[in-house]
Amino acid sequence: MGQIPTKQKLTHSTTYRWVSHSLVWGLLGSVLVTLPAWATELRFWRFDQNRFRLEFRTSEAVQPTAQLIPNPTRLVIDLPGIVLGRPTMTQSLNGAVRSVRVAQFDRQTTRIVIEMAPGYTLDPNQISFQGSTATNWSVQLPSPQLIAGTDAPSIPPSPSIPPRPTGRDRPPTPSTSPQLTDIRVTPDGLYLSTTSSPNRVEIKRSRNRKQIDINLEGLSLAPQFRSQSFEINRFGVDKLQVSQEQNKVRITLMVDPDSASWSASVSRFGGVVLLPEGGVRGDRPQDSFSLIPSAAAQTSSTEQLATITDIALGGNQLLIRSDLPLTYTTGWEGNLYRIRVRGAQLGEQVQEPRLGEGSALSLVRLRQDDPQTISVLVQPAVGVRIQGVNRLNSQSLLLQLQRTGTTASPFPPPVQPPVTAPFPNPFPQPPLPVPSGRRIVVLDPGHGGPDPGAVGIGGLRETDVVLDIGLKVSRLLQQQGILVYLTRTDERDLDLGPRVALAERVNADVFLSIHANAISMSRPDINGVETFYSPGRPRSGNLASAIQNSILSSINMRNRGVKVARFYVTRNTTMPSALVEVGFVTGAEDAPRLANPAWRDQMAQAIARGILQFLRSGG
């Protein structure tokens, strides 16, 4: 048995050194005696069989200790002061490494054991620990060696796993047309997995309200759809039927006549989300499953895990983003709300979001339940309640939060609005008009990612304001039966060309770009709303006027008028297009309003109403 110390200098690799058996336990004993009274957590661990590499992350600084034990060879790594907080986890492997176990060794020590297959050992001088920080560690193992004089079994080579494909470099389907490949029943509704987005989605309900037809134009059924009728028995849906029509796939829901209607949201990355309007009624199911056995078997047998690439809190939403489609369940653990993602691992750079004063969440914890399961645990702040989880697309989940009390603005650094209760509205709010026929609207929240747009009083960022308003407008329009595409649903870098290309590709009826204005910080007297359209396009002028008039009839703010301008996104789209500037982040009147979530709700209502009025009038 050998003790392998790790250097205190975290930026350099260290190697194992053999010491006597008595020294091993003497060193371990000295560490345990000097442990602090409190203990911290093991947040993440992963063993990469292809690279013979262990990675782990703790919530606070840790100094690992290690020893090599023979018969069979085991590398034992102790993390003093670390509490696992859950049952023993075992990752079984094929090859020279038999398994990796993570367990609680004693009250304040977590132990990781890497066990070799019989007849194999490791050179202790070639095992190295490396800490990029005091909480992020990796252990690199050398190639396993056969023990002299042993009859070790032949070990099959480790499978060569290619890099995880992204949305851009996934291999194309051999089919000549995009395919519907799977239907998943989720806690919120249905997720249709496709190789690319359908040309158009149409939803029709029968006169007796017992049947809902969802037509996916431009898709064909994948070969794995051997059965075309499935029992659902949730969400008011008794049975789901799939059929191939000419140049489209039809999904038919046999429903209770008193059940809710359904809405569709199409992802630019492939896939369609179907949700009952008004959310899930009664007890919310906690499981998610595939209707296609071959797809489910393929998912369970593959070693390609989705990697969680980002977890970010913005305003009243928590975003969970991955590089592959996600399967999840939700539930409560005491006073913590849990989002459990299966078939996933945490990315190396993923950190828990920082929570500041006025944050909608008082706690966010990331937990590795087993090598293929991640749990995100959150605790809502005082005056905040959990609304549930929705899919932005197949690879992104959005936890919706609702503030029921008075809070500060959610954007850091915040502008303190003069009122944080619901913003007073002197204008009556008529019901939203419902246009006839299925229409498509593309909403374009401006800027994003490394481009924050205008930055105004108190650090108020244009990108934060317009993304929040855009998401709210999208939900309002979908509630009225509009099929909505968003050019972005999170903070990402997006050029102008792809924004226009999306609107053209989906053959949108309306394109609206949402921005916030700015001028010199020395001119806080400049405030107001204005809407632009490109010259020579009268229908776009009608759209701009409908939006501007709706805002002014709903919100008491300065009118800067409807104007002509040659913005790229309005002059390069072929459908009626407009660009609305919802106020000045540098304005003494507008900035506090733009920072107020309740006021942004009113702005979203006004914009949605203007779009619906335009569609109802025929433009």
DSSP secondary structure string, 185-233? E-SSSEEEEESS--SEEEEEE-TTSSEEEEEEET-EE-TT----EEEEE
Residue 300 lies in a domain: no
In 3-state terms, the chain is what percent helix, strand and coil (to 5)? 15, 40, 45
Residue 431 lies in a domain: no
User: Residue 465 has what pLDDT?
Assistant: 95
Residue 213 lies in a domain: yes
Region 282-297: mean pLDDT is 53
User: Residue 381 has what pLDDT?
Assistant: 85
At residue 25 the predicted structure's pLDDT band, cuts being 50, 70 and 90, is very low
Mean pLDDT of the chain: 76
Residue 163 lies in a domain: no
Measured in degrees and rounded to the nearest 5, phi and psi for residue 450 equal -70, -10
User: Residue 614 has what pLDDT?
Assistant: 94
Region 480-488: mean pLDDT is 90
- For 44-98, write each residue's pLDDT tens digit: 788 887 778 888 888 778 888 888 888 888 899 988 888 876 677 777 777 788 8
Residue 56 CA: distances (Å) to CA of 21, 59, 221, 269, 546: 26, 10, 42, 31, 55
Q: Which has the higher per-residue pLDDT, 333 or 538?
A: 538
Distance CA 152, CA 96 (A): 10
Region 515-524: mean pLDDT is 86
Does residue 581 sit in the same domain as residue 471?
yes
User: Residue 362 has what pLDDT?
Assistant: 87
Over the Cα atoms of the chain, what is R_g? Answer: 28
Distance CA 367, CA 186 (A): 22
Region 94-104: mean pLDDT is 84
Does residue 461 sit in the same domain as residue 601?
yes
At residue 437 the predicted structure's pLDDT band, cuts being 50, 70 and 90, is low
> Of the candidates 376, 401, 426, which is a domain's last residue?
401
Does residue 450 sit in the same domain as residue 520?
yes
What does the DSSP 8-state code read for residue 71?
Answer: T
Range with the poorest average pLDDT among 19-23, 102-106, 373-377, 424-428: 19-23
Region 232-240: mean pLDDT is 81
**Residue 227: pLDDT over 60:** no
Non-local CB neighbours of 181 within 8 Å, separated by 6+ positions: 193, 194, 195, 222, 224, 292, 295
Number of structural domains (the chain) is: 4
> Of the candidates 124, 146, 168, which is a domain's last residue?
146
Structure tokens at 483: 């099929």
Range with the poorest average pLDDT among 39-43, 364-368, 469-473, 555-559: 39-43
**Residue 528: pLDDT over 90:** yes
At residue 288 the predicted structure's pLDDT band, cuts being 50, 70 and 90, is low
User: Residue 280 has what pLDDT?
Assistant: 61
- Domain with residue 545: its CATH number is 3.40.630.40
Instruction: Name the H helices within 78-133.
Output: none
Range with the poorest average pLDDT among 163-167, 357-361, 379-383, 514-518: 163-167
Distance CA 518, CA 527 (A): 9
Region 204-216: mean pLDDT is 90
Does residue 288 sit in the same domain as residue 370?
no
Top mean pLDDT of 9-18, 336-345, 409-418 is at 336-345
Does residue 483 sit in the same domain as residue 536?
yes
- Domain with residue 204: its CATH number is 2.60.40
Residue 152 lies in a domain: no
- For 309-340, write each residue's pLDDT tens digit: 888 887 778 888 888 888 877 777 777 888 88
User: Residue 317 has what pLDDT?
Assistant: 80
Does residue 110 sit in the same domain as residue 243?
no
Distance CA 125, CA 298 (A): 40
DSSP per position, 420-469? -SSPP--S--PPPP--SS--EEEEEE--BTTB---B-GGG-BHHHHHHHH
Does residue 194 sit in the same domain as residue 338?
no
User: Residue 474 has what pLDDT?
Assistant: 92
Q: Which has the higher per-residue pLDDT, 463 or 256?
A: 463
Does residue 331 sit in the same domain as residue 245?
no
User: Residue 433 has what pLDDT?
Assistant: 54
Region 119-123: mean pLDDT is 85
Residue 162 lies in a domain: no
Q: Which has the higher per-residue pLDDT, 258 or 290?
A: 258
Does residue 456 sit in the same domain as residue 593?
yes
What does the DSSP 8-state code read for residue 105?
Answer: E
**Residue 601: pLDDT over 80:** yes
Residue 91 CA: distances (Å) to CA of 88, 306, 565: 10, 17, 61
Distance CA 575, CA 503 (A): 8
Per the structure, the complete domain to which residue 379 belongs is given by 307-401
User: Residue 351 has what pLDDT?
Assistant: 83
User: Residue 168 has what pLDDT?
Assistant: 37
What does the DSSP 8-state code read for residue 125?
Answer: G
> Of the candidates 401, 429, 462, which is a domain's last residue?
401
**Residue 613: pLDDT over 50:** yes
Region 568-591: mean pLDDT is 93
Does residue 262 sit in the same domain as residue 287?
yes
- pTM value is 0.36
At residue 413 the predicted structure's pLDDT band, cuts being 50, 70 and 90, is very low
**Residue 347: pLDDT over 80:** yes
Residue in this structure with the two tokens 């590398």, named with its chain if needed: 75
Does residue 384 sit in the same domain as residue 275?
no
Residue 499 lies in a domain: yes
Residue 229 lies in a domain: yes
DSSP per position, 21-62? HHHHHHHHHHHHHT--SS-EEEEEEEEETTTTEEEEEESS--
Distance CA 549, CA 161 (A): 57
- For 368-385, write each residue's pLDDT tens digit: 877 788 889 998 888 888
Structure tokens at 595: 């920072």
Does residue 382 sit in the same domain as residue 444?
no
- Domain with residue 382: its CATH number is 2.60.40.3500
